[in-house]
Structure 1
Amino acid sequence: MFLLLAVVSLVGSCFGQAAFRCPEKNGFYPDPVQCDLYYHCQGGELEEKLCPDGLLFDDGNPKNERCDTPVNVDCGDRNELQEPKPSEGCPRANGFFRHPDSNKCDKFVNCIDGVMNEMPCPPGLIYDDDQSSCVWLTETTRKDCPLVSKRDVLEDGFSCPEGEVMGPNGRTLPHPTFAHPEDCSKFYICRNGVTPQHGSCSGGQVYNEESFKCDEPENVPGCENWFDEDKKKP
């Protein structure tokens, strides 16, 4: 993550020097209304400053002059921002944004001083605006990405269900598995939550849909006698 210090000084605004007073003689302090506007107090005298477009002032430490990307800054009630300075592929001059081509949702752009730099997501992930990062398909709220709406269907009619699947530890499973409706020793795997494929247990085990793993038959209700010769399914 890159950091840029503010380089623009302002002279007077509706929230300018007439309204703001230095809390301490020295330090860097946020404007109470605008998240990318802040003040440098030195010996009780203040200078009004503005973060580069797209970056926000991080008020975590008054000793540090720090502007960062929105995902790293909690603005609280400071909801206003400077007017954007867009350029080709960049909604603002700095920051991380979705790729302008919605068909390339597995890529994003890193804008630096208005220059667009195309970046790839790791295999199987797409860029999510809300999180400003690459995520699994099951973790995004994006509706415009063709990869999200694409659902492959196996020859037996199985397709991966939409929505997140939570594992036993309460975390989202990136490659969830599902029980086969007729065969205790088989199951389905959904790669990245959307691409289905067959799976099977080995060593006399059956699939346990509670643990999402292969298990001993006696631990899976309904499959206890699956490998008994007189109970075995064709």
Structure 2
Amino acid sequence: MKSTLVLLLALYGFLALFATAVTSSRLRADERDIDLGESDYQCPEGLYVAPHETQCELYYICASGGTPTHLYQCRDDLLFDLKYYGCNFKDQTECGDRLAPFTCPSPSGQFPIREGTCDSRYYVCTNDVAKLQVCPNGGIFDAASSACVATACPTTTTPAVPTAPGLFECPAPSGNFPSPYSCSQYYVCVDGTALLFECAAGLYYNAPLDICDWPSNVNCNLPTSSVNI
């Protein structure tokens, strides 16, 4: 009887040490990942590692009580994979709705968060620095016209073209401005340089809301499109 009790106690001690080791390993981040400091994010019950809410390269290491302790960034160019639940290569990572770090396709302009994505979020790049923006009033960012539209993503739009010198003078170095020649066109000024954009077919540029909108919502008496301006 005594030997059985000793055996049970030894087994219990082993299981306790095993559980501690497992917990400890789940709480440990890869030493090559970047510790961004403490966070007040509350981890879901039972999770020791949790993905960041919006950024794919970030994740939380949580304490045993469900309270996170630190926010981490994956090393190098790795992303936090929702399937693997750890940092993984970009082409093998499932980000879900979270955003991966964005690289501007060109130094200046407006770009979708992902190619082929219909989303209200988009990036504005200025001198290769990207800033995340959200279309107002529930609008959707249309990649083809590089503008927020009031409807679902249009399938056909006219791409942006450089404005001929002297035809349009930017009222401010940067910003979006209605065209004085057409209801359906507008200018995007970046560091004083104007680019001409055209809304999807059937839509007018709504300057106060900075979106392509239904004509009934826009006060404009100009033509719907420009010719050789």
Report the TM-score when normalising by structure 1. Answer: 0.29
Q: Which one has a larger percent helix, Structure 1 or Structure 2?
A: 2
Report the TM-score when normalising by structure 2. Answer: 0.29
